[in-house]
Chain A
Amino acid sequence: MFEYLVKRIATLAPTLLLVSMLIFGLQQLLPGDPAKILAGEEQDPTVVAYLRTKLHLDEPLPLRYAYWAGGVLRGDFGESIRNQQPVLDLILQKLPVTLELALLAFAIALVIGIPAGIVSAIGRGSAWDYAANVFALWGLSTPNFWLGILMILLFSVQLGWLPASGYVSPFEDLRANLAAMIMPAFVLGNAIAAVLMRHTRSAMLQVLSSDYVRTARAKGLNERTVVLKHALRNALTPIITLGALELGTLLSGAVLTEQVFTIPGFGKLIVDAVFNRDYAVVQGVVLVTASAYMLLNLLADLAQFAVNPRLRR
């Protein structure tokens, strides 16, 4: 197990290096001279010249990458041209907000997706199975920003139960925080619940038809124990692997959800940065998101060891 872990972590380093090159390379896509674009409308020659030296634009590409990557390694992601704040500070400010949203969304996805998958696998071909499959298709096909708007229409405009926007920190007022977060978390969790339901269903179907489940039933265990203790435990391994891939959807979806509910998180940061042509912030956010995604996948791999003792050998 230890050997596997070392190997797994060792492959992260080259991937991260390539990811950083990819993100740095985005700059090359800018049409025209980056210094002139960053200098804004007036294109003051002194500003252009200052930016050119500051961003090392006169130096060859590999060297510029080395400057940038060196900075990133020291925690220097550059500076926002919008408000002169270090990019890292901006990211660290917004990260907890998105993290809370993502955690709530994932919890909702687990609570809906896994039981729905189990029920649909047990009653294969039944009305429950049919309903769960319709739910999955709905979840996969609904754009989450549209679902968000519809929920605002129902719960904020028509019923007046929940606020349509207005994020409050949980440390200030937990009640108000949850009231503002429950709709976005549901919207974000909905699509992931659909995918989890599908994975759970197919994993459970496979496990339920295996010999040891028949043995467990034959020795007279009640169905509840067979399903939850014997079958589900083994079905969890593929669910975790495939579910981890959905964490990317979670991070992507957060951008749109935050936009709909005006939540001041990571997604709002990158969208605002795009419109302010604040490219250092865009690069910083993408780099942190990619690293977070890779880290979450690593954690999912570790979770495999927790549920599957055979891997620990």
Chain B
Amino acid sequence: MAAVLPSVVVTPLASEAGPWKRAWRRLKRRRGALIGLAVVLMFVALALFAPWFAPQDPIATSWGAIRKAPSVEHWFGTDEIGRDVFARVVWGTRASLLAGVVSVSISLLLGVPIGLAAGFLGGWVDSVISRVTDAFLACPFLILAIALAAFLGPSLTNAMIAIGVSATPIFVRLTRAQVLNIKVEDYIEAARAVGNPPWRIALRHVLPNVAAPLIVQATLAIAAAVIAEASLSFLGLGQQPPAPSWGSMLNTAKNFIDNAPWMAIWPGLAIFLLVLSFNLLGDGLRDALDPRQR
């Protein structure tokens, strides 16, 4: 008897873990996605251990080393007031990653509940939410973010809020569309029939089933948010000087392009690599998580 029981208990658990395990197996087979994941993790390590990777002070100026070309001492050269470009690129990872992750978290925290409410409740709630979402989507993403950042005032925090709010409508739409598909499934009907309250059905039965497309969209949205933060910083609306940020480094570099091109090359390359990796990872996740791809 005792020998039979565990297998009975274990079997449903194993099948529950199935879809995610299978997705991971599929993801592992995609070289692009794995490279993306590796580079993202490398940037995370750079951000966490910035003092260890770049012992030079990213904001210390040195009038004796202005716009020096890359050398053994300064791997990426120095900028217009003698700061070490390598240290600034490494420390700038913090602003970019933070902006990517925090903005998308804001979009998820706002967008998913609103989309869930619209799709699940329907009726006038849905109409109101959908119309407001349309209005937000009518304003191009970056223009809306610039306007929000302009009125909130220039700072990294406000840039993250502006980007997060501007990207929210996409998550509202996506969640709503997924909920509408799932709402009519038999297992939701069954959950209702057993007497679950609507909030419990929404959270326990609907939400886990819309998670996959949300994860894919969130990964791609981080890529977009990193570019958006760099753009706002480039315009002077993000991270404020002297704190290092890739976007603002490029803004300064533009003025010294003819005699200090290294100031422009490295921060741009860093943005490109980070965004590319999130895009690769997102594409891979989409292929791995989308059941239609099987």
Contacts and interface: CB of A to CB of B under 8 A. Distances in A.
B272 A142 contact: yes
SS of B interface (majority): helix
A286 B275 CA distance: 27
B143 A286 contact: yes
Interface string B132-145: 10111011111110
Given A152-B257, A157-B258, A249 B135 contact: no
Interface in A138-155: 138, 140-143, 145-146, 149-150, 152-153
Contacts of A164: 257
Interface in A149-198: 149-150, 152-153, 157, 164
B220 to A, nearest CB: 9
A274 B276 contact: no
B223 A149 contact: no
B250 A252 contact: no
B140 A274 contact: no
Contacts, number: 135
Contacts of A19: 135, 138-139
Contact of A294 (B136, B138, B258): B138
SS of A interface (majority): helix
Given A18-B135, A22-B135, A251-B140, A274 B279 contact: no
Contact of A141 (B132, B138, B275): B275
A249 B229 CA distance: 15
B46 interface: no
Interface in A191-233: none
A252 B153 contact: no
Interface of B: 131-132, 134-136, 138-144, 146-153, 223, 227, 230-231, 234-237, 250, 253-254, 257-258, 261, 264-265, 268, 271-272, 275-276, 279-280
27 contacts: A15-B138, A18-B131, A18-B135, A19-B139, A21-B135, A23-B139, A26-B151, A29-B148, A29-B152, A137-B279, A137-B280, A140-B279, A141-B275, A141-B276, A141-B279, A143-B227, A143-B250, A153-B261, A153-B264, A157-B261, A248-B140, A252-B140, A255-B142, A259-B235, A274-B150, A282-B150, A289-B139
